[in-house]
Copies of this chain bind each other. A is one copy, B any other.
Amino acid sequence: MDEPRDKGLTLNPKYDRDGLITAVVTDAATGEVLMLAHMNDQALALTIETGLAHFWSRSRQSLWKKGETSGNMLEVRDLRIDCDQDAVWMKAVPAGPTCHTGARSCFFRRVGAEGLSAVDTVE
């Protein structure tokens, strides 16, 4: 265990070889997990500074302000970091559906022994 990083009160993110940490977003009202994405140092700094979720798009290789094109921004209500500082948890108020499929949450399918089943309507 890296004591200062794991238990201290200094922000010291452990970025991976691509310079990223993982970010999980839950709905501040319902607790539902809405999405999972990644942040580089700039995305994390902008999220803290503006109170709006920013990520790093691995597919587009660019900074991504969530909702910039769709309007479905995520307003941060609480931001936490985990023990080894390679992941953050954001409680947010979503302005609309979070998933690019139109679903409220990206996690709209259940995994069972028999495969997947839908648990949320894709609009």
Residues on A close to B: CB < 8 A?
1, 6-11, 22, 24, 26, 30-33, 35-36, 48-49, 78-84, 87-89, 99-101, 103, 106-113, 115-119, 122
- Classify the interface of chain A: helix, strand, loop or mixed: mixed
Bound together, the chains give a CA A20 to CA B62 distance in angstroms of 23
Collect the chain B residues with CB atoms within 8 Å of residue A111's CB: 11, 48, 79-81, 88
B-side contacts of A31, CB under 8 Å = 26, 30-32
Q: Are B7 and A36 in contact (CB under 8 A)?
A: no
B107 touches A80 (CB 8 A): yes
Evaluate contact between B80 and A109: CB separation under 8 angstroms: yes
Given known A-B contacts A7-B101, A88-B111, A36 and B22 have beta carbons under 8 A apart: yes
